[in-house]
């Protein structure tokens, strides 16, 4: 069995119930169902931190888990949506690996590929 997923917030060891995905291109943070596998730009959050989530300035938060929504889509729909978001957020590393003989110049997405993510500074600090 897979190990229990934990909240990624510092000093919080509660079990994760949701996954936060940052879509840098759209300045949007998407809170959705717990991801089935970990990705570098995804952060697992416990119930409490999901509830308290606030976006950095200039960012929008999209909650796919809003329990107050009148009509909830099925879990499958939510998961498909969350996966689509993650797909869109993923840096285009596959393109570089595919083909092999491709003579691609520098990928404009390259700037997003850093060893770790520290992207949440406000623009006006």
Smaller CB distance to Zn ion: residue 14 or 41? 14
Binding range to Zn ion, per CB under 5 A, among 11-19, 34-42, 50-58, 107-115: 11-19
CA 16, distance to chain mean position in Å, is 14
**87: which DSSP letter?**
H
We find the least distance from the C-beta atom of residue 103 to Zn ion, in angstroms, to be 46
> CA–CA separation, 22 vs 8, rounded Å?
14
Site for Zn ion in 36-65 (CB under 5 A): 46, 49
Q: In which order are the strands placed within the sheet that holds 60-63? A: 42-45, 18-23, 28-33, 60-63
Cα-flanking dihedrals φ and ψ of residue 81, to 5°?
A: -65, -45
Instruction: Map residues 62-91 to x or -, x wherever contact with Zn ion holds by CB under 5 A.
Output: ------------------------------
In this complex, which beta carbon is closest to Zn ion, that of residue 12 or of residue 88?
12
Q: How far is the CB of 44 from Zn ion (least distance, A)?
A: 9
Closest CA to 44 of 80, 72, 8: 8
For residue 56, how many other CB atoms are within 10 A of its CB?
14
The residue from 5, 9, 41, 90 that contacts Zn ion (CB under 5 A) is 9
Question: Residue 95 CB, nearest distance to Zn ion (Å)?
Answer: 35
Closest CB to Zn ion among residues 9, 90: 9
Q: Which is nearer to Zn ion, 9 or 63 (CB)?
A: 9
Give the integer Cα–Cα distance in Å for 16 and 42.
12
């Amino acid at each position: 069995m897979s190990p229990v997923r934990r909240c990624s917030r510092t000093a919080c060891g509660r079990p994760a119930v949701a996954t936060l995905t940052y879509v840098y291109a759209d300045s949007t943070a998407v809170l959705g169902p717990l991801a089935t596998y970990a990705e570098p730009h995804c952060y697992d959050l416990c119930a409490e931190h999901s509830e308290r989530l606030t976006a950095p300035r200039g960012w929008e938060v999209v909650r796919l888990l809003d329990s107050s929504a009148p009509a909830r889509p099925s879990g499958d729909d939510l998961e498909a949506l969350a996966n689509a978001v993650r797909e869109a957020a993923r840096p285009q590393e596959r393109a570089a690996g595919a083909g092999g003989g491709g003579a691609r110049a520098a990928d404009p997405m390259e700037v997003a590929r850093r060893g770790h993510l520290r992207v949440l500074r406000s623009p006006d600090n």
